[in-house]
Amino acid sequence: MIAEVIDSMINYFESDIKRINHALKVYGFANCIVRKEKLSEKEILTVEIAAVLHDIGIKEAEIKYHSSIGKYQEIEGPIIAKKILTDLNFEADIIDRVCFIIGNHHTYQNIDGLDFQIIVESDFLVNIFEDEIETSSLESIKTKYFKTSTGRSIIQSMYLKQ
């Protein structure tokens, strides 16, 4: 089923290779973290879908608000994700959870589960590189936003190793 979600995301973003690659990189980290943290099969599927679609609202945000800031992505993303996932016949509880995560993925105080936490960590792991976040900020990011042992290990290995 995840292949169909990836295909839908690629079709939605069309030739926006940067956004497609970002989603696939977040998916890669999320897939690793969720499996190492030993979540259930349903939680794994939820994390994988949320990772692929987490920024799906960015295109509509840019059209409607002329901005890609997180707040607008959170407004527009769940609407698009719900349509994609409904068209692919996912269960209502998975759709609802994915839409909640997408609708809050830049609002860190709303993290209410390990599935959501893994999306945040995976997005940070990609954004640190893509946004060229300064090394001086990384220890603070790790302390403040990384809660899983797998995510903490990855950020340490990739970005903080001396």
pTM summary value: 0.96
- 53 in Cβ contact with 5 (< 8 Å): yes
Structure tokens at 93: 């509880």
- Cα distances (Å, whole numbers) of residue 23 to 34, 61, 125, 135: 16, 17, 12, 23
Structure tokens at 18: 């940067």
State the Cα torsion 72-74-79-84 to the nearest 10°.
120
Digit-coded pLDDT (tens) for 101-123: 999 999 999 999 999 999 999 99
pLDDT at 161 over 90: no
Q: Mean per-residue pLDDT for 27-55? A: 97
Structural domains counted in the chain: 1
Which residues form the domain of 138?
A: 2-160
CATH of the domain at 90: 1.10.3210.10
pLDDT at 92 over 80: yes
Residue 70, number of CB atoms within 10 A of its CB: 17
